Structure 1
C-alpha cells in the first residue's frame, strides 16, 4: 500500500535550495572575465549546467503549485481567492525586480522591463490559472500546443524587420517583438537589441511550469507505490531528454530563446533531479545532507534578491582604492580559482543569512 503523502516534500525544498544556491553561485563570480566553463551560460546554442538552473526553478514552481493549491482548488468556491492571490504574487515579483533596479541603478531611462523575476511571476500566474481552471488533459494539450506554436513562430514566420525567419540573437521574431513593445532602452543592458527573458519566450517557459505540474500531480498520487512513482518519473525524465535532443537537430537547444527542445531537455534533467532527491530523502530517509540547502529553499526569493544587493555594496568597499576581491582573493589564486572562491564565499555569506531566518522560523513570502 502506498504511503500517505505529506503536504510538503522535503526533497522539493532541498531541490529548490540547491537551485537557488547554484543561482547565487553563478550570478556572483569575483571576475566575470574569469569563469570556469560549466559556470557560464552557453554563448548561444547548446546547454551548460548553468543553463539548467532557471528552468529547474520554473519546473519547481509547477510542482509547488500542485502541493500548495490541490486541496483548496478542489472546492470551486476557493478559485477566485486562489487566483487573486496568484495575481498578487506575480505583480509583487515584477515590482521587486523593477525596485531592485531602481535602487541599484536609479533612473527610468534604461530600466529593464523583462527579467528573471518577471518571468517567474508570469509563469506562476498562468500555470496557476491552468491548474485551477483546467483539467490535466487540457494542460497537456496546452503544453504540446505551446511548444509546437513556438517552433512554428520562430522558424517559419518572417520577421518584419528582415522579412525572413531567424534564430539569431538580434533578428529573431522574439527580439523584434521586444523592441516593439519595450523599445531598445528597456531591454537587457548587455545588448539593448534583444532580451534573454523576452516576451515571446514566456510561452515555452509556461510549458516548463506545466511539465512541473504534470510531475507534481503524479508524485502526489496516493494509489502508487514510491518505487513505481520514482521509476516512471525517471523514465519520463529520460524520455524528455531524448526528445529534446532529437528536436535539437532542427530547433537547437537554446536557453536564451527558451526553445521547445530546451524545454524538453531541461525539464527532463529537472525531473531526474527531483526523482533522485525524492528517492534519497523522502523514501530512503537520507536527510543529514539536507541541512545546508533547506534554508535556501525556505526563503528562495529573499536569497535571490540579496544576491543582487550584497555584492553590489560589497564592491563599493575599497580600502586603499582596491576592492575586497583584489585584496582577499586575486593575489593568492589563479584568476579562475580566485573568481570561483569569491563566488563560493558570497554564496556562504547569503546562506548564513538564510540560516538565521530559517532557525528563527522567519519565512518571507511574496
Structure 2
C-alpha cells in the first residue's frame, strides 16, 4: 500500500471509476424482478450497455500503463514487476471464485474442492491481457502495436473459422471452448453457460486489443502538444471504429461473450469518445463533488471490485430459510418501494454505494493499493 500520488489524470480516474460503478450495478442487480435490458448482458449476439463495462475496464488498464511505463526502468526490474503483478491479480481472481472456500453439506461444513473451482474469470483475463500488453508496450512502437492489434483480431477470427466444430460462432462449437475443455477442463469452467466460459483462454487475444487501445490513447494524450486537436482526432477515430464494427458485423457478429473483433472495435470506439469527452470537460479543472464520487472508485478499482464480489457472497452465507440478506432486502424493501426493474436498479445502486464507502475511507486516508 502506498500513499496517494499527485497529480492524477482526473479524467482517467473518473473514467475508471464510472466503469467500476457500472460493473457493480450490472453484477449485483437487485433480486425480485428482472433488471432493465440494457443492464443485462446480451445472451449471445448483440450488444447492451452492460457489455461495454468489462472492455472499458481493460481500456482503463491500458490508459494507466501509459503513465506507469513512462519512467525508464531496466528490463529485469520491469519484467519482475509485470510478472509479479500478473501473478497477483490472477491469484486473487482465482481465490475470489473459490471463496468462501467451504460449503454447507448435510448439516455440516466441508471444504469446497479445488477440482470444481473455476480457473479463469474476470480478474484472470485482466492479468493475462496486462501481461501481453505490458511487454508489447515495452518493445513495440505505436505503429507496430497497431499492427499487433490487427494481427490479434484477424488471427482470432481465422482461428475461430479454422478450428471450430459446425457453427464456429456457437457456444460449444467455437475453437475457444475446445481449447478450454482441452487445457482447463470442464469442471474448472464457468458453470452458468452450458460448458462455455466467457473469459476463456482464447478470448484473451482480442481482449488484449482493448488494453493496447487504452495505452495508445493515453500515450497520445500524455504526449500531446495540442490537446484540443488530439481530442478531436480521438473522437473522430472512435466514430470510425464504431462504423467499422457495424460494417464487419454481418460477417463476424458483435458478441461480448465470444469477444469478437467487431465487439472490440465497437467498445474501443465508445471508450475513445467517452475518454475524449471527459478529458475535454475535466482536465485543467479542480475536482468537485461530482467527480469525487467516481474518483473514489477510480483510485482503487480492483480492491473495490473484489470487495463488491466477496461481500455479496459473504452475505449469502447467512441465509435464513433459504433467503440471504441481500435477496431479502431486494425483495422486501426495494421491490416494495418500486416494483419491477426500477426497484432492481435501486437495490443495485444502493449496494454500489455501500462499496463506495470502502473506497471513501481509503480515499480519506490517502491509500492507493497497488495490485
Structure 2 unaligned spans of 5+: 1-5, 102-111
Residues 1:255 and 2:256 are matched in the alignment: yes
Cα 1:348–1:261 change in 2 (3 A) is: same
Aligned to 1:37: 37
CA drift of 1:104 comes to 2.3
How do 1:193-212 residues align onto structure 2 when only pairs under 5 Å count?
193-212=195-214
Cα 1:9–1:321 change in 2 (3 A) is: same
Corresponding residue to 1:133 among 139, 144, 148: 139
Q: Note the alpha carbon deviations across 1:289-338, whole angstroms, 9 max, x for none.
A: 20101010111011111111111223344578753333322333213222
Residues 1:112 and 2:113 are matched in the alignment: no
CA drift of 1:20 comes to 0.5
Aligned to 1:3: none
CA drift of 1:191 comes to 2.8
Q: Note the alpha carbon deviations across 1:74-122, whole angstroms, 9 max, x for none.
A: xxxx222122111111100111011122222532121111110001001
CA contact (8 A) 1:317 1:324 kept: no
Aligned length, in residue pairs: 352
CA drift of 1:33 comes to 5.4
How do 1:215-230 residues align onto structure 2 when only pairs under 5 Å count?
215-222=217-224, 224-230=225-231
Distance in 2 of aligned mates of 1:234 and 1:202: 26
Residues 1:48 and 2:48 are matched in the alignment: yes
Cα 1:217–1:7 change in 2 (3 A) is: farther
Aligned to 2:96: 100
RMSD, aligned α-carbons: 1.9
After TM superposition, the score normalised by the length of structure 2 is 0.90
Structure 1 unaligned spans of 5+: 1-5
CA contact (8 A) 2:36 2:341 kept: yes
Aligned to 1:84: 80
Distance in 2 of aligned mates of 1:84 and 1:251: 38
After TM superposition, the score normalised by the length of structure 1 is 0.91
Q: Give the 3-state SS of the residue equivalent to 2:223 in structure 1.
A: coil
CA contact (8 A) 2:99 2:310 kept: no
Aligned to 1:184: 186
Distance in 2 of aligned mates of 1:32 and 1:329: 9
Q: Note the alpha carbon deviations across 1:255-311, whole angstroms, 9 max, x for none.
A: 111101111110000011100110000046674420101010111011111111111
Distance in 1 of aligned mates of 2:229 and 2:285: 14
Distance in 2 of aligned mates of 1:7 and 1:289: 18
Aligned to 2:235: 234
Distance in 1 of aligned mates of 2:20 and 2:181: 30
Q: Give the 3-state SS of the residue equivalent to 2:335 in structure 1.
A: coil
